[in-house]
């Protein structure tokens, strides 16, 4: 069974992003970019399934600018077998990515698509769900445990009240949550090996997909600055201020 693993190039989680002075978006020029952390977990899970003999080939996919190749090379160094870059300079929204992935699913016929639960730049948490709708495949989101057996996958999901275990038929869409696994470190020999693995470069038009944005960002602004706090003399004054100034009790 082939596994398709979409990996997004995002601003590194350690970077403190700033809003552009004209309010049109975030200033991401010259900041460190990395693989979306949940996608690293998804790649790791696919690699573990390959090590168990469940998956035979892992195909990493990234949609975006030419530099997404670096993200794909990281996926290859983590253990993916080959990579596909769907190159475009358009800003991609989840529906466009889901349509590109659907076209690749039709072409590659994987048994499993393993995404991250959410991209840490747009926080959309939509692509996996939209892909499941477009493919009409079962989906298990927020996975913290994945067990594949005889054409089915048992997925433990992190839900508000605790853990939910669902069983779905393959082919399926799964999205990875934080506690699914701890991704391995990329080693130098594997980085070298990854350079020789195949990386195909295609365009959205090759897949017959129109990626034009459907949403327009009107304005991006910084959250309001927090004012300085004050010291209160005693509990009675604290309660008085919470009641009459902050009006929260």
* Contacting positions for ligand AMP (CB under 6 A): 6-8, 36, 38-39, 61-64, 92, 94, 97, 115-116, 118-119, 122, 124-128
Query: 3-class SS at 31?
Result: coil
For 43-78, b/e burial (b = at least 16 CB within 10 A) is: bbbbbbbbeeebbeebbbbbbbbeebbebbbbbbbb
Residue with smaller CB distance to ligand AMP, 151 or 208: 208
Cα four-point dihedral sign 59, 156, 152, 172: negative
Say if CB 236 and CB 120 are below 8 A apart: no
Residue with smaller CB distance to ligand AMP, 94 or 204: 94
Residue with smaller CB distance to ligand AMP, 77 or 130: 130
Name every residue whose Cβ is closer than 8 Å to that of residue 191 and which is 6 or more positions away in sequence. Answer: 73, 77
Residue with smaller CB distance to ligand AMP, 125 or 190: 125
Least Å distance, CB 240 to ligand AMP, is: 44
Q: Where are the alpha helices (DSSP H) in the chain?
A: 37-51, 68-78, 94-108, 127-135, 188-196, 235-244
Say if CB 28 and CB 121 are below 8 A apart: no
Least Å distance, CB 107 to ligand AMP, is: 16
Considering only CA atoms, which of 145, 133, 130, 224 is closest in space to residue 179?
145
Residue with smaller CB distance to ligand AMP, 61 or 77: 61
Least Å distance, CB 21 to ligand AMP, is: 26
Least Å distance, CB 46 to ligand AMP, is: 11
Owner of token pair 């038009």: 205
Least Å distance, CB 226 to ligand AMP, is: 28
Least Å distance, CB 34 to ligand AMP, is: 12
Residue with smaller CB distance to ligand AMP, 108 or 122: 122
């Amino acid at each position: 069974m082939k596994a398709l693993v979409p990996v997004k190039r995002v601003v590194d989680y350690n970077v403190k992003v700033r809003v552009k002075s004209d309010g049109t978006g975030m200033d991401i020029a010259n900041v460190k970019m990395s693989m979306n952390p949940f996608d690293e977990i998804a790649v790791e899970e696919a690699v573990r399934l390959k090590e168990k003999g469940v998956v035979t080939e892992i195909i990493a996919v990234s949609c975006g600018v030419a530099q997404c190749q670096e993200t794909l090379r990281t996926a290859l160094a983590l253990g993916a077998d080959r990579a596909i870059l769907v190159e475009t300079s358009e800003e991609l929204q989840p529906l466009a990515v889901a349509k590109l992935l659907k076209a690749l699913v039709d072409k590659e016929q994987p048994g499993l698509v393993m995404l991250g639960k959410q991209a840490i730049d747009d926080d959309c948490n939509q692509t996996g769900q939209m892909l499941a709708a477009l493919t009409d495949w079962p989906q298990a989101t927020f996975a913290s445990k994945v067990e594949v057996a005889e054409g089915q996958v048992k997925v433990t999901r992190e839900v508000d009240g605790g853990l939910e275990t669902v069983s779905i038929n393959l082919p399926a869409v799964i999205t990875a949550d934080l506690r699914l696994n701890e991704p391995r470190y990329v080693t130098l020999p594997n980085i070298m090996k990854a350079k020789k693995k195949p990386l195909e470069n295609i365009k959205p038009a090759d897949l017959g997909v129109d990626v034009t944005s459907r949403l327009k960002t009107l304005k991006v602004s910084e959250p309001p600055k927090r004012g300085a706090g004050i010291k209160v003399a005693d509990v009675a004054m604290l309660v008085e201020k919470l009641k009459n100034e902050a009006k929260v009790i």
